[in-house]
Amino acid sequence: MRTEDIEKSQEYFTSTVALVTAKSREVANVMSAEWSLRVSLDPFLMAVFVGYERGTYDLIKESGEYGLSYCSDQQGNLAHVAGNNSVRDGSKFKLADFRTFKPKRINAPLIDGAISNFECRVIDEFKVGDHAAFIGEVLTAYYDDSKNPLVFHGGKFFHLGRQISKS
Ligand SMILES: Cc1cc2nc3c(=O)[nH]c(=O)nc-3n(C[C@H](O)[C@H](O)[C@H](O)COP(=O)(O)O)c2cc1C
């Protein structure tokens, strides 16, 4: 049954979670972002929307770059920990099994075990309501076809369901 409710309707999106990494002045961090997506094919651009109060906002602003590691369905715990703790209270990397690998084109580490990773250089930033939109040029990217994506819906994490027919 259809119900009109502007607040509750916001719980019915389905997306995934990116682990956004950023590093400045030797401080590296990881935060969860549901709001991150490809916004241009050529040039290949990825956007991430970051609250101004996040420690991550300062780190991206200072360094002009960020990593996006899209969670596999084995990384729900990482998405939870990175999204419910702040670098302002100390490093998150020791709070869970955040394994990283060395990036090629940026300074921020990337998260191992993700389904895909993107190294991005900020080319634009603007305000969108209560969040900053960072637009990043993708400098290099990786994928792992042995992984399945983490599905985020109604504040909970799920595996991807079965494929359905288009006809
Ligand atoms: C699943 C999930 C998705 C989130 N998505 C976003 C997002 O897209 N943008 C954002 O600014 N914060 C988002 N958050 C909140 C931040 O991850 C959270 O405030 C985090 O503690 C900020 O960490 P920092 O201060 O170390 O940057 C999300 C949190 C969770 C759990």
Q: Rounded to two decimals, what is the model's pTM?
A: 0.98
Mean pLDDT of 73-100: 98
SS (H, E, C) 60-129: HHHHCEEEEEECECCCHHHHHHHHCCCHHHCCCCCCCCCCEECCCCCCCCEECCCCEEEEEEEEEEEEEC
Specify the pLDDT at position 20.
99
Mean pLDDT of 42-64: 98
Among 2.40.50.100, 3.20.20.140, 3.30.420.10, 2.30.110.10, name the CATH number for the domain at 15-158: 2.30.110.10
Name the band, by pLDDT with cuts 50, 70 and 90, for residue 27.
very high
Specify the pLDDT at position 99.
98
Residue owning the nearest CA to atom 17 of ligand 1: 83
102: left (phi over 0), alpha (psi -120 to 50) or beta: beta
CA 165 to ligand 1 center in whole angstroms: 34
Residue owning the nearest CA to atom 26 of ligand 1: 86
Specify the pLDDT at position 64.
98
CA 141 to ligand 1 center in whole angstroms: 22
Tell me the average pLDDT of the chain: 98
- Ligand 1 pocket list (CB less than 6 A): 17, 29, 31-35, 49-51, 54-56, 79, 83-88, 131, 152
Specify the pLDDT at position 59.
98
Q: Domain extents for the chain?
A: 15-158
Mean pLDDT of 133-156: 98
CA 79 to ligand 1 center in whole angstroms: 9
Q: Which atom of ligand 1 is closest in space to residue 152's alpha carbon?
A: 1
Percent of the chain at pLDDT above 70? 100
User: Helix and strand tally (H, E) in the chain?
Assistant: 2, 12
Residue owning the nearest CA to atom 5 of ligand 1: 33
